Amino acid sequence: MVLCRAMAPFAVCSMCRKPIQLGSKYWRCSVSTCNSGRIKLMFCSVSCWDAHLPTARHRNASAIEETAQAQPPK
């Protein structure tokens, strides 16, 4: 099965691997090491964000709500 570019998700959740669709809400970690370089963690829900905390060992972290871009990149 081949997905056309318009049907492709914006990203996938870093914990459960569910697709994050274009224009939908997602959460990212407030800690810079989770959002730098090649690793840009995105989560489909706050519970998935919360699930990454035991392995990340953050001191002060919060989930930042974002909205995925509405149009696929050209």
**CB within 8 A of 35, min separation 6: which ones?**
28, 29, 41
What pTM did the predictor assign? 0.79
DSSP 55: H
Q: Rounded to whole angstroms, how far apart are CA atoms 56 and 8?
A: 29
Bridge partners, 20 (sequence order): 11
Average pLDDT, the chain: 85
Band (pLDDT 50/70/90 cuts) for residue 7 is: low
For the chain, which residues make up each domain, given as ranges? 11-67
* 13-46 residue pLDDT tens: 999 999 999 999 999 999 988 888 787 899 999 9
CA 12 to chain centre: 6
